[in-house]
């Protein structure tokens, strides 16, 4: 069988494997959250705070969708015209057009240009978030975080670009197989290593002081069968008023992380409810499941790119003679961008199902629907989220159930509905 034939076979196996993982890990049943309870929940929230949250989201909407459109147009301009290929050649010219210069420097130049397109929208968003008091970060801190993210991207992106095209040169006929394996391995590495290595670049973490809350959170994790190494407090207040908590790491590196803002805004029972939700993700190994799906998707994506290399009209548009050339980085990014937009609603749907299951886990673990309900109201108020967003936007991009859905689920749980 030819390499292309094997590529189709492996792609089919990856699709089947991804579907199997999804069926095994994505909940088919969603806990009840009756619309009548949602409507009642919305009526109980302070009207002025709901109006403020909706005004805030309305101001963010043109930024989010304008940035999405600008990024898509830029990616298509660099990928479906010879501009991307010419930029790669231009950057590599001082280095004699060496393939490493094309792959790493040229590739990073294309990526950086696309990042520059997003900067005005990010700055616009920071202006709005600051105006509403959600951000506590000045422009200096905002710029420093942006620079840190670029530095992290430079290291990871440079290594990935070099590794990918080194494999292409080493195995011109079978690079798709090694590239798919490498992409899957990179997803797994980033999933389990980034929380431990990269999180400290953006936040400072200190052990939660000894006391009743810390003890209760550790006991909660033990009762849930989720071993954690420690309970840490993140200094999120340096940049935001938003409240949150999460369980970070895997295995021996797993720890509960609580925003200092959450400790200031919420009651101990509410903090416990948020942590119980996050423990639900850990207890169900949602990170592992997501990593497996992401790894399968990344591997399949590499194979699809290889197969698209036989589509001559697409290559002619990009001004390249094959997907295995560094000049094709613009085309690759364009394909990935379009694929991401198409897959976005499906990913949001899956995420909402998983988050709803974690909510149900929190309710069962704590047995305190009243605290869960009050916490959802507090999250919506402090984080300025629309408690009942427009349906089209909810279906398109919402990664979590809405606040009124979560409150309705808590009320249904309290009535014994499961």
pLDDT at position 172 is 87
Average pLDDT over residues 394-415: 95
pLDDT at position 384 is 93
CA pair distance 149, 371, nearest whole angstrom: 36
Distances, alpha carbon 123 to alpha carbons 58, 60, 119, 152, 376, in Å: 17, 12, 6, 20, 29
Average pLDDT over residues 10-32: 91
> What does DSSP assign to residue 31?
-
Catalytic residue list contains 359: yes
Q: Beta partners for 207?
A: 232
CA pair distance 232, 7, nearest whole angstrom: 45
In the set 265, 278, 286, 388, the catalytic residue is 278
CA pair distance 67, 327, nearest whole angstrom: 25
Q: Beta partners for 255?
A: 248
pLDDT band at 45 (very low <50, low <70, confident <90, very high): very high
pLDDT over 80 at 164, yes or no: yes
Residue 98 in marked binding region = no
Q: What proportion of the chain, given as a percentage, has pLDDT over 90?
A: 77
First to last CA, the chain: 52
Q: What proportion of the chain, given as a percentage, has pLDDT over 70?
A: 100
pLDDT at position 199 is 75
Average pLDDT over residues 387-391: 95
Residue 281 in marked binding region = yes
Q: Tell me the HSE value of 175 on the side-chain side, using a 13 A CA sphere.
A: 20
pLDDT over 90 at 29, yes or no: no
Query: For residues 418 and 381, which has the higher predicted lDDT (pLDDT)?
Result: 381
**The two three-digit tokens of residue 184, written as one number:** 């899957």
CA pair distance 231, 254, nearest whole angstrom: 10
Show me where the domains of the chain are located. 3-414
- In the three-class reduction of DSSP (H, G, I as helix; E, B as strand; rest coil), residue 234 is classed as strand
Distances, alpha carbon 58 to alpha carbons 77, 126, 315, 344, in Å: 29, 15, 40, 21
Q: Which of 278, 270, 275, 280 is nearest to 378 (CA)?
A: 270
* pLDDT averaged over every residue in the chain: 92
pLDDT in tens, 289-330: 999 999 999 999 999 999 988 888 999 999 998 888 899 999
pLDDT in tens, 101-145: 999 999 999 999 999 999 999 999 999 999 999 999 999 999 999
- In the three-class reduction of DSSP (H, G, I as helix; E, B as strand; rest coil), residue 388 is classed as coil
pLDDT at position 197 is 72
**The two three-digit tokens of residue 302, written as one number:** 């590499």
Residue 400 in marked binding region = no
pLDDT over 90 at 379, yes or no: no
pLDDT at position 30 is 87
pLDDT in tens, 230-283: 999 999 998 899 989 998 877 777 899 999 999 999 999 999 999 999 999 999
Q: Beta partners for 265?
A: none
pLDDT band at 339 (very low <50, low <70, confident <90, very high): very high
**The two three-digit tokens of residue 344, written as one number:** 């976005």
* Tally of CB atoms within 10 A around 304: 19
In the set 359, 386, 388, 405, the catalytic residue is 359
Catalytic residue list contains 278: yes
Bridge pairing between strands 255-259 and 245-248: antiparallel
- In the three-class reduction of DSSP (H, G, I as helix; E, B as strand; rest coil), residue 51 is classed as helix
Total-model pTM:
0.91
């Amino acid at each position: 069988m030819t390499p292309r034939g094997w590529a189709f076979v492996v792609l089919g196996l990856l699709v089947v494997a991804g579907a199997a993982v999804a069926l095994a890990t994505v909940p088919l049943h969603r806990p009840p959250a009756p619309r009548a309870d949602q409507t009642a929940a919305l009526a109980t929230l302070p009207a002025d705070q709901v109006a403020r949250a909706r005004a805030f989201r309305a101001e963010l909407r043109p930024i989010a969708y304008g940035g999405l459109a600008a990024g898509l147009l830029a990616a298509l301009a660099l990928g479906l015209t010879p501009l991307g290929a010419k930029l790669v050649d231009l950057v590599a010219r001082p280095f004699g057009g060496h393939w490493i210069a094309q792959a790493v420097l040229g590739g990073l130049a294309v990526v950086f240009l696309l990042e520059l397109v997003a900067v005005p929208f990010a700055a616009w968003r920071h202006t709005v978030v600051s105006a509403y008091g959600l951000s506590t970060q000045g422009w200096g801190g905002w710029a420093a975080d942006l620079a840190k993210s670029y530095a992290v991207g430079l290291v990871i992106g440079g290594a990935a670009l070099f590794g990918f095209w080194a494999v292409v040169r080493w195995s011109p006929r079978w690079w798709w197989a090694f590239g798919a394996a490498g992409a899957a391995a990179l997803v797994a590495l980033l999933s389990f290593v980034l929380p431990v290595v990269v999180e400290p670049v953006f936040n400072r973490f200190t052990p939660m002081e000894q006391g009743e809350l810390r003890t209760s959170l550790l006991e909660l994790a033990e009762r849930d069968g989720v071993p954690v190494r420690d309970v840490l407090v993140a200094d999120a207040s340096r940049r935001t008023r938003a409240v949150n908590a999460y369980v970070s790491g895997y295995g021996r590196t797993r720890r509960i992380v609580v925003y200092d803002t959450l400790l200031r805004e919420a009651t101990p029972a509410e903090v416990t409810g948020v942590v119980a939700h996050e423990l639900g993700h850990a207890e169900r190994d949602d990170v592992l499941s997501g990593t497996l799906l992401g790894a399968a998707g990344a591997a399949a994506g590499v194979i699809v790119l290889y197969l698209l290399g036989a589509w001559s009209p697409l290559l002619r548009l990009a001004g390249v003679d094959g997907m295995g050339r560094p000049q094709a980085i613009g085309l690759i990014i364009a394909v990935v961008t379009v694929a991401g937009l198409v897959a976005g609603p499906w990913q949001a749907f899956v995420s909402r199902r998983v988050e709803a299951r974690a909510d149900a886990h929190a309710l069962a673990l704590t047995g305190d629907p009243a605290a869960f309900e009050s916490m959802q109201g507090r999250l919506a108020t402090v984080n300025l989220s629309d408690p009942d967003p427009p349906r089209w936007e909810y279906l398109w991009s919402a990664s979590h159930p809405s606040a009124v859905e979560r409150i309705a689920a808590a009320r249904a749980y309290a009535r014994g509905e499961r």
